[in-house]
Amino acid sequence: MAGQESSGGKKMEELEEWRLYEAYNELHGLAQEFDTPFDAPALLVVGHQTDGKSALVEALMGFQFNHVGGGTKTRRPITLHMKYNPECDTPLCHLLSDSDPSVSHEKSLQEIQVYIEAENMRLEKETCQFSAKEIIIRIEYKYCPNLTIIDTPGLVAPAPSRKNRSLQAQARAVESLVRTKMQHREFIILCLEDCNDWSNATTRRVVMQIDPEISRTVVVSTKLDTKIPQFARASDVEVFLSPPASTLDGFMLGDSPFFTSIPSGRVGFGPESVFRSNDEFKQAISSREVEDLLALEEKLGRALSKKERSRIGVTNLRLFLEELLLKRYMDSVPSIIPLLEKEYRNSTRKLSELDQQLSSLNEAKLKEKGRTFHDLFLTKLSLLLKGTVIAPPEKFGETLQDERVNGGAFIGSDGLQFPHKLIPNAGMRLYGGAQYHRAMAEFRFVVGGIKCPPITREEIVNACGVEDIHDGTNYSRTACVIAVAKARDTFEPFLHQLGCRLSYILKRLLPIAVYLLQKEGEYLSGHDVFLRRVADAFNNFAESTEKSCREKCMEDLVSTTRYVTWSLHNKNRAGLRQFLDSFGGSEQSSIIGNDSNMSTQTTETRLADLLDSTLWNRRLAPSSERIVYALVQQIFHGIREYFLASTELKFNCFLLMPVVDKLPAMLREDLESAFEDDLDNVFDITNLRHSVVQDKRQTEIELKRVQKLKEKFRYIHEQLNSQQAKFGQ
């Protein structure tokens, strides 16, 4: 009777453990599927490509299934929910669906192997050759431990040469994926090292970046059978089996490393297969453990202690990991229940919101939403132009240097830029009206400082030409021809650059306005088609308005460089008169001479000589060159001043102001027209309703699964408490 009671008690204990493992397997699947933050303990296997990672996982499971060999054979993490079942003589495997992880399909080992190999080959051909999405397999087998193991892609250590750039990029991608997985604090890290000198921390280097004290890490030295023959002295073996604390810093799980050997060879019936069944594979593992123990004792010249023996072989590692994971499971049960309660409340609230969203998908409510969003959007645009600090400058602001890179710089014909440090507020991160004002100020600085380009003697002679009624030279006309050509070539590029820059600044208002609406909960989430329409309308308005404004400015530039009006173009008459007076005096002196006897020459003679040297003589004297140069300077500067004033005024009136007084009417007209013509497509009602229904269905599934898990963990918690109370008595 006592034996029967003992047997019955053991079966009840095994049943409770099964329930515990099953609950945690479901919890892990739920966390993966719905991206919920449940701390489901699991073993995360980390190692380099040649460390025998996948082979060790197979040995722990008691059967072979993975794509094992040289190179990268694991491109997606493989999660194995293993459960010991003495009634399963062959592994019973279920592969969880990638598209719907709540659905699983029973697969043979060969089918799972084919699937994993196909996934590896598919990813190998893609740009990103690795995926963080786990392949999840549930397994029951008579040799399986009660463990959840996650096998990660093998780390790579490529040579640092240029020809290995592709492999270096692959190494970075793998390390990033593995580091992300290790950041889950509930995972126990199984750190594999293939070395006979513990000072070489190849895998530990990566692991200790996440777990610096290796306090949640089990260190495993693989391929023990290949290392034993390498030791020449017993002392070397002693140090290898029990490394000093200075070599293995930290507080690793189990206090010392484990040592394993996995027999090489695959299970199958082909000529290349070594084992005919998984039973043979399992027996070979046990035989290898015995051989390793004997070989170690022979090298040491003594018998191994009980503690040393407990660290040798896959069997001991498996027992240690099972006990460790079981303890973690039991310790985590009380903290899991409140998390499930919270997730249940979140799912219930989300379901209620989805029901409300479905009820609001009617024409009247959608139109009201659209009009409200229209008004709020315009309010934010106006606020950004007038000035605000609500949007963070570090996220949305731009320095002048950033603005030049993204929106274009003001560059003259010499290809040089105005030093940005000389512009007020150049280093500040601005947006909205402040950024618009700074850009206009830079335009004034740059264009206002432009000097008339150099004039060559050839240009003057070519500009003289021949009049239609006489063959004399008209230097005033020559100066006009040169000045307007220089001005047109100089200022027209700046007009296009200003339009491009200010258009860019206005378009930047859109994402900032959206941010403000999101921050205040006024954004139309889920209505992407409608929001794209508003964004397109705004951007089109900014582009067309800038183009229209630029064309108006271009008309001004064309008119002021087509016909010279002296009252407009010659702003500094006093300066020009002073220059010509001094020049005229020196010219007369050069013509008449300094001889006092010539003082009686008549005014008519002096005039004739002056005309002879300018109007009738085609030889370009210094005096004529200076006259043309002075006139060109005056005309050019007059055009520059007019161009600056008219351009700034027009951009303010015909680009900035329309955002305030024309954009609202244009957007409203576009909106109402869309409401009348094609409301369904504006809000994409059919697809949106389908999407909401899908979300609702998924949330209902999640809610049911959370409720079921909550009941399971509550039951387990009650059983653990009753057992503790029984032992306490």
* CATH code: domain of residue 61: 3.40.50.300
Q: Looking at the structure, do residues 479 and 536 belong to the same domain, yes or no?
A: yes
User: What is the pLDDT of the chain when averaged over all its residues?
Assistant: 80
Query: Which residues make Cβ contacts (< 8 Å) with residue 155, sequence separation at least 6?
Result: 46, 47, 48, 49, 171, 174, 175, 178, 203, 206
**Looking at this protein, which amino acid is placed at residue 285?**
I
> Of the spans 61-75, 351-365, 645-659, which averages the highest pLDDT?
645-659
Contact 501, 447 (CB under 8 A): no
Compute the distance between CA of residue 132 and CA of residue 420 in angstroms, rounded to an integer: 45
Q: By mean pLDDT, which of 130-134, 353-357, 464-468, 697-701 is the weakest?
A: 464-468
Structure tokens at 135: 């392949």
- Strand, helix or coil at 399? coil
Report DSSP letters for 603-659, one per residue.
HHHHHHHHHHHHTS--S--HHHHHHHHHHHHHHHHHHHHHHHHHHHHHHIIIIIHHH
What pLDDT shows up at residue 670?
78
Structure tokens at 314: 């896959």
What pLDDT shows up at residue 8?
53
Q: Where are the beta strands (DSSP E) in 159-287?
A: 187-193, 217-221, 258-259
Q: Looking at the structure, do residues 121 and 182 belong to the same domain, yes or no?
A: yes
Q: Looking at the structure, do residues 651 and 703 belong to the same domain, yes or no?
A: no
CA 406 to chain centre: 18
Whether the predicted pLDDT of 591 surpasses 60: no
Residue 428 lies in a domain: yes
Q: Looking at the structure, do residues 194 and 242 belong to the same domain, yes or no?
A: yes
Q: Find, among 547, 525, 535, the residue nearest to 671 by Cα.
A: 535
Contact 376, 517 (CB under 8 A): yes
Please tell me which residue, 360 or 459, carries the higher pLDDT value.
Answer: 459
What pLDDT shows up at residue 649?
95
- List C-alpha distances in Å: 483 to 434, 446, 480, 583, 634: 35, 19, 5, 21, 9
pLDDT band for 613, please (50, 70, 90 cuts): low
486: containing domain:
363-582+620-683
pLDDT band for 467, please (50, 70, 90 cuts): low
> Of the spans 29-43, 142-156, 579-593, which averages the highest pLDDT?
142-156
Structure tokens at 516: 């403000």
The tokens 């892990």 sit on which residue? Answer: 28
Residue 480 lies in a domain: yes
pLDDT band for 400, please (50, 70, 90 cuts): very high
Q: What is the mean pLDDT of residues 587-616?
A: 50
Compute the distance between CA of residue 630 and CA of residue 650 in angstroms, rounded to an integer: 30
Contact 254, 342 (CB under 8 A): no
Q: Looking at the structure, do residues 654 and 709 belong to the same domain, yes or no?
A: no
Q: State the DSSP H helix or E strand holding residue 720, giving kind and residue range, or none if neither.
A: helix 685-728
Percent of the chain's residues with pLDDT above 90: 27
The tokens 């050839």 sit on which residue? Answer: 458
Residue 606 lies in a domain: no
Residue 11 lies in a domain: no
Residue 660 lies in a domain: yes
pLDDT band for 370, please (50, 70, 90 cuts): confident
Q: Looking at the structure, do residues 635 and 699 belong to the same domain, yes or no?
A: no
Residue 447 lies in a domain: yes
- Strand, helix or coil at 105? strand
Residue 614 lies in a domain: no
Q: By mean pLDDT, which of 194-198, 233-237, 427-431, 573-577 is the weakest?
A: 573-577
Q: What is the mean pLDDT of residues 668-686?
A: 70
What pLDDT shows up at residue 497?
94
Looking at the DSSP assignment, which residues form a beta bridge with residue 140? 83, 92
What pLDDT shows up at residue 586?
46
Residue 597 lies in a domain: no
Torsion of CA 250, 254, 255, 261, to 10 degrees: -100
pLDDT band for 371, please (50, 70, 90 cuts): confident
Q: What is the mean pLDDT of residues 258-268?
A: 89
Q: Looking at the structure, do residues 469 and 519 belong to the same domain, yes or no?
A: yes
pLDDT in tens, 535-577: 888 999 999 999 999 999 999 999 888 888 776 665 545 545 5
568-589: burial string, b at 16+ Cβ within 10 Å, e else: ebbbeeeeeeebeeeeeeebee
pLDDT band for 61, please (50, 70, 90 cuts): confident
Whether the predicted pLDDT of 729 surpasses 50: no
Please tell me which residue, 123 or 687, carries the higher pLDDT value.
Answer: 123
Task: Provide the 10 A C-beta neighbour count for residue 53.
Answer: 28
Torsion of CA 548, 551, 552, 556, to 10 degrees: 170
pLDDT band for 251, please (50, 70, 90 cuts): confident
Please tell me which residue, 378 or 565, carries the higher pLDDT value.
Answer: 378
Q: Looking at the structure, do residues 275 and 388 belong to the same domain, yes or no?
A: no
If phi > 0 it is left, if psi is from -120 to 50 it is alpha, else beta; for residue 97 that is beta
Q: Looking at the structure, do residues 84 and 191 belong to the same domain, yes or no?
A: yes
Rg (CA), the chain: 42
pLDDT band for 597, please (50, 70, 90 cuts): very low
Q: Looking at the structure, do residues 268 and 368 belong to the same domain, yes or no?
A: no
Compute the distance between CA of residue 372 and CA of residue 93 in angstroms, rounded to an integer: 55
Q: What is the mean pLDDT of residues 235-260?
A: 83
How many domains is the chain partitioned into structurally? 3
- List C-alpha distances in Å: 338 to 30, 224, 704: 16, 45, 16
Q: Looking at the structure, do residues 111 and 129 belong to the same domain, yes or no?
A: yes
Q: What is the mean pLDDT of residues 602-619?
A: 55
pLDDT in tens, 278-334: 888 889 999 999 999 999 999 999 999 999 999 999 999 988 988 887 788 777 777
Q: Looking at the structure, do residues 406 and 480 belong to the same domain, yes or no?
A: yes
